[in-house]
Amino acid sequence: MADPVIRVQGAGIRFKRNRRSRRSFKDLFAGRKRRARANEFWALRDVSFDVRQGEAIGVVGRNGQGKSTLLKLVAEVILPDEGSVSVHGGVAPLIEITGGFVDDLTVRENVFLTAGLHGMTKAEITARFDEIIEFAEIGDFLDTPYKHLSSGMKVRIAFAVISRLEEPIILVDEVLAVGDKGFREKCYQRIEELLAGGRTLFFVSHNEKDLRRFCTRGLYLDKGALVLDSSIDDVLERYNTDYGI
Amino acid sequence: MSAIDVVRPQRSAIERYRRSLWLLTVRDLRVRYSTSALGYFWSILDPLVMAGIYWFVFTQVFHRSVGNEPYIVFLLSALLPWMWFNGAVSDSTRAYIREAKLIRSTKIPRTIWVVRLVLSKGIEFIASIPVLALFAIVTGAALNWEAVYFLLAIVMQALLTVGVGLIVAPLVIFFRDLERATKLALRFLFYASPIIYGVTDLPKSLHVLASFNPLVGILSMYRAAFFPDQLDLLTIAIGGGVTLVILAVGILIFTRTERAVLKEI
């Protein structure tokens, strides 16, 4: 068996319940080991699992049960308070995909900037540039400042860039709920293409159909704990019995 | 399990850091210059106007007893580096807030958010040096061999500014008042540092105390290019020590608060 590409061991993270709660200097510098205070809650706790290369994992759970937090931990944009998350290989995070785009720069400059920040060289971006633009169907707006694009176009170009990153791990967080039907189908086809290419997928969704379409394995999160780690069909079945529709 | 069709060579961490830093710095400068008509001119207009005001007040209105001749060169040689320090530190109060969306979606090393501010303001500072040279030529100020200290001053100032930025940037997230407090502290520091006056104008009793402000040593090194009497090695040594302490404290605070900052933004 190959080494896992993602290894999550006893990971936990806590948040403040009340944003305005008093904060002292002591609080800020206290080590990560200190116990949770009354006004804090664990968004995730004791979550452990391994992911091997090429697996397609769907994360299932109700709202506020830690799905997106888990995805962010895997993307390493937040850090766990206990346990560890280690990710081998690059990650293409389809989370807040439009985040890196700058309003005042043109589409062309933005493509180079965002892809560059995710670790692509200029030559690699140039080689894929036409492909990205074609995918986003945005050819006429190359030199338009990003802020003048419609919201649909913004998401299209962002998806086109991130999905061409050629990273071995892809994280998808319900971004595809936006965009028209045709483009969504195109995005799905792109994800399938990437899966066929041996990529590892981490997928958060409420849509059962989508989950079954892409994923083979499921993680069921409830109240911040990993309740079930099994095949996607088992996980969905359990989820439906718990919160029957 | 099929193999990945494209395997990209993994670049080293330092190489990635350098590339991300450069991309963001260039982006900063590009945004600044693509959205304003005067562009580059703004980065020199501000110190020029200030220098003009001080020159007028001190040489035309009052009969100045501080600083050296030619006073405009004396002023600019400290004002331009001050603009770098001032700009980078006040920008670093918003380092996280302005880029929150980007920080939430990419995992590049977080110190970049501060370092790039120091770098882009530093580039503007370098770009403003020709203005100083121009005034030096026009007024006939002589350049001395002490100009080599200019390089040391740049290095020391970069370290100091990064250190202060690393302290300010995360703390502002938790204590919003710090944003205004920083502005106030900077204004105080402007007069507490030898900018409109020289190190040698300070009373003897304050001399050692002033050395603990690292800007005193740094600005005296810039000035030594035209006014070698401003150079004071003890001041520079003490300032250098303080700079390293501030940098160490900055790194400590930054790493200890990183987790909490990421949750907060």
The tens-digit pLDDT sequence of chain A (245 residues) is: 567 888 999 888 888 776 555 555 556 665 555 555 667 788 888 899 998 888 899 998 888 788 888 988 988 888 898 889 988 888 888 887 777 788 888 898 889 988 888 888 888 899 999 988 988 888 888 889 888 988 888 888 888 888 888 888 888 887 666 667 888 888 888 888 888 888 899 888 888 888 888 889 999 988 888 888 888 888 888 888 887 65
Q: Is A35 exposed, middle or buried (0-12, 13-18, 19+ CB in 10 A)?
A: exposed
| pTM, entire model | 0.85
Sequence-ordered list of residues with C-beta below 8 angstroms from that of A162, at least 6 positions apart, any chain = A92, A93, A94, A97, A114, A118
Please give the C-alpha separations between residue A10 and each of A4, A46, A85, in angstroms, as whole numbers: 16, 4, 9
Q: Residue A78: its chain B contacts at CB < 8 A?
A: 259, 262-263
B40 CB-side CA count, 13 A:
8
B187 at A interface, C-beta within 8 A:
no
B4 at A interface, C-beta within 8 A:
yes
CB contact under 8 A, A96 and B174: no
Assign a CATH topology to domain A6-90+204-242: Rossmann fold (3.40.50)
Per-residue model confidence as pLDDT tens digits over B149-188: 999 999 999 999 999 999 999 999 888 889 999 999 999 9
CB contact under 8 A, B263 and A15: yes
* Rounded Cα distance, A99 and A110, in Å: 11
Facing residue for B257 by CB, picked from A28, A118, A168: A28
Percentage of chain B exceeding pLDDT 70: 95
* Rounded Cα distance, B222 and B218, in Å: 7
What's the rounded mean pLDDT across residues B74-87?
92
Q: Which residue has the higher pLDDT, A10 or B1?
A: A10
Q: Name the residue in chain A with its Cα closest to that of B20.
A: A117
